[in-house]
Structure 1
Amino acid sequence: MKTPDIVTFTINPAIDVFGVTDEIFDDSKSRCQKASSLPGGGGINVARNIHRMGSAVAAVFPAGGLNGELLKKLIQADGTPFKAVDIADETRQNFAITETKRHIMHHFVFPGPTLTEAEYTACLETLFSFSPAPKYMVLSGSIPAGMPNDFYKKITLQAKQQDIKIVLDTSGPALSESLFTGAYLAKLNRREFASLGYDEHVSVEELQKQMKDLVDRDAVDVLIVTLNRGGAVLVSKCGESCFFEAPKVHIVSHVGAGDSFASALVHQLNKGTPLKRATHYGVAAAAVTVQLEGNQLHDLNWLERMVTEVVEHPL
């Protein structure tokens, strides 16, 4: 495989199953229609979008059991380059069911498989098997129970030695352990940022101050926090500080929106687009994806139109 510019890593991938039902009933069958299965998990979603956008990318992930075989077949059909690490435990399935009576989606997310030390060490080796090294490495999604909390930290430290820019899109201990270790960029939602010890309900101006404190202390070079109703705040070590206001749209599903943000952002950065302009694309990509079923951004013309509706406010 030719070395890609961008490698994504998903330690806890999934098959995302989507369905529609009129109403979800208690203690009874809720019959669903329109079932579809898509490859899922943060880094896989990011890689599929980036491949569609035109950057050279590869997805790395573990896969096990019948679900793991299905996951590989779905990604092969999609055409996205990947390297899968075989594991003994079964890859998980998640379910997203849209209830038409109330126009809401129920998203059921299950735990991932248990990886042995030999299996997650094989993942690490596969991740750094590309020669020459990629420019960007996106660490996206949750870590399964039983994995070391500092696993992403180890990846970040090794990547720094090879001048690979790490993009963090994770949460919990995996996030807190990975900050202050040389990562280039972290993209967090408001709740993930609050988990670092901050108030989730402060104003945008106060949020910017909290973010600047982290950046000034070398947590990362670039910090982006996405907001609950769309938009994002950006603070960088180079002095950029902005609030990006997202257009108001009709929300169908939040599945994959954060991954679309990350994919558009990293694709644009890989093209050499300035950071603030690349963030416009990230906000626009999320705004398009929440209007869609599924977990992907397919209409790139729609993305370009949405970029013009994102408003930048200096902070």
Structure 2
Amino acid sequence: MYAPIITFTMNPAVDTFGETERIFEDSKTRCQQTRQEPGGGGINVARNIIRMGTPALAIFPAGGLNGELLKQLLARDNTPYQSISIASDTRQNLAITERYCGKMYHFVFPGPELTKAEQDACRNALLEHQQLPEFLVLSGSIADCVPASFYGEITKKASALGIKVVLDTSGAALQGALYNGAYVAKLNRKEFSSLGYSELDDIATLRAQMREIMAKGAVSNLIVTLAQGGALLITESGEELAYMPPKVEIISHVGAGDSFVSALTHQLYQGKSLDVAFRYGVAAASVTVQTKGNQLYDLDLLEVTYKKTQPLA
């Protein structure tokens, strides 16, 4: 099938959410499972984008019983996908809310090992479509066995074909992906600090640091999200934008960054300006932290929050 937006998740997961009254250190903690969702950055992005009304295709490697469960969950959700078979098991992550204190504990497990042949199959699957997408979202982590240059190689090839690449990754994968022609990259403060900066610097210093790596050609447009919910953007033309959402009660941060990328990419595909798309991204993250699960469900609240999102001085 043709999709104008393709998302790729190198390290997908089945996300299991649960609740318990209290977590005990030295005895059984009995939990109630509240929901089970397909997980992983690009998969979350694709599901959100489809819900907003734009066709998308999620591509990912999958193996073992968890891989089969992941595909079943996507089929149940009517999410178009293309899976690449691997020998190792897809991971499962846990998010447990302790009702006693209202805190959520997010347990994230390492991904499966992929052979070189499986990695090559993933690369080929992204660019083998007869009609290429307008946007390619590379989202989420990569396993330790995958070269740090993996996303960078894909970004370079896709950009040369005229595809706008949206990057949302971290660690070695992020450092290997920058400076390869991506259209936009979204980083949080911790991810940005991994490039050699302090996470404690003030906003003015952060802006200067963003301009510094932009001048070196890291990416065409750079977004850095802030711990308090806002975000900064520096565009390829040198324009600097910053927005802050209204204060809300935070229930879970799971999927907030993916919702940001979802709304941003959806709005760009719809022909909106980078300013408008960026502001929608800030609003989408704010909506998602107010809900359980890993998805952007309340699109009416998204519109309300968008209108309440204000420029950050």
- Using the size of structure 2 for normalisation, the TM-score is 0.98
Q: Which residue of 2 aligns with 1:220?
A: 219
Q: Which amino acid aligns with 1:199?
A: S
Displacement after TM superposition at 1:132 (Å): 1.4
Q: Counterparts of 1:146 and 1:277 in 2: how far apart (Å)? A: 38
Q: Is this contact kept in 2: 1:10–1:41, CA < 8 A?
A: yes
Q: How does 1:46-195 map to 2 (within 5 A)?
A: 46-195=45-194
1:313, CA displacement in angstroms? 3.4
> In the alignment, does 2:281 pair up with 1:282?
yes
Q: In the alignment, is the contact (CA less than 8 A) between 1:216 and 1:237 conserved in 2?
A: no
1:36 aligns with 2:24: no
After superposition, what is the alpha-carbon deviation per residue over 1:229-250, rounded to whole angstroms, capped at 9, x for unaligned?
A: 1010000111220221121110
**C-alpha distance in structure 2 between counterparts of 1:34 and 1:80, whole Å:** 23
The code of the aligned residue for 2:63 comes to: G
Superposed CA deviations along residues 248-269 of structure 1, whole A, max 9, x for unmatched, are 1100000000000000000000
SS in 1 for 2:30: coil
Structure 1 window deviating more from structure 2 (263-272 vs 25-34): it is 25-34
Distance (whole Å) between structure 1 residues aligned to residue 156 and residue 196 of structure 2:
24
Task: Return the alpha-carbon distance in structure 2 between the equivalents of residues 91 and 79 of structure 1.
Answer: 20
Counterpart for residue 15 of structure 2:
16
Partner of 1:303: 302
Q: Deviations over 1:268-289 (max 9, x none)?
A: 0010110011111000000000
Shift of 1:312: 1.5
User: What corresponds to 1:248 in structure 2?
Assistant: 247
Q: Are the aligned partners of 2:16 and 2:33 in contact in 1 as well (CA < 8 Å)?
A: no
Aligned to 2:266: 267
**Contact 2:61–2:84 (8 Å) recurs in 1:** yes
Secondary structure class of the residue paired with 1:308 = helix
The answer to which of 63-72 and 28-37 deviates more is: 28-37
Q: Which runs of at least 4 in structure 1 moved beyond 3 Å after TM superposition?
A: none
User: Once the two structures are superposed, what CA deviation does each residue of 1:60-94 show, in whole Å capped at 9, x if it has no partner?
Assistant: 00000010001001001111111000111000000
Q: List per-residue Cα deviations over 1:82-114 (Å, max 9, x = no partner).
A: 100011100000000000101100000000000
Letter in 1 for 2:69: L
- Please state whether the residue corresponding to 2:19 is helix, strand or coil: strand
Greater Cα offset, 209-218 or 17-26: 209-218
Conservation of the 8 A alpha-carbon contact between 1:257 and 1:285: yes
Unmatched segments (≥5 aa) in structure 2: none
Tell me the C-alpha RMSD between the 2 structures: 0.9
Say whether the 8 Å CA contact 2:13–2:91 is kept in structure 1. Answer: yes
Q: How many residues align?
A: 313
The question of whether the paired residues in 2 share the 8 Å contact of 1:257 and 1:287 is answered with yes
Task: List per-residue Cα deviations over 1:6-64 (Å, max 9, x = no partner).
Answer: 10000000000000000000111111114321000000000000010111110000000
State the distance in 2 between where 1:265 and 1:293 align: 21
Which residue identity does 2:232 align to in structure 1? V
Matched residues in 2 for 1:26 and 1:124: separation? 43
SS of aligned partner of 1:8: strand
Q: Is the Cα–Cα contact under 8 Å of residues 20 and 98 in structure 1 kept in the other structure?
A: yes
Which residue of structure 1 lines up, in the alignment, with residue 257 of structure 2? Answer: 258
Could you give the per-residue CA deviations for residues 186-213 of structure 1, whole angstroms, max 9, x where no partner exists? 0000000000001111111111111011
- 1:123-173 per-residue CA deviation (whole Å, 9 max, x = no partner) reads 111111222110110000000111111000110111022111111100111
The answer for unaligned runs of 5 or more in structure 1 is: none
Contact 1:97 1:105 in 2 (8 A): yes
Task: Check whether the contact 2:19–2:32 (CA below 8 A) recurs between aligned residues.
Answer: yes
Q: Using the alignment, how far apart are the partners of 1:129 and 1:303 within structure 2?
A: 35
Letter in 1 for 2:122: C
User: Letter of the aligned partner of 1:308 in structure 2?
Assistant: K
Q: TM-score, normalised by structure 1?
A: 0.98
Counterpart CA distance in 1 for 2:34 and 2:230 is 31
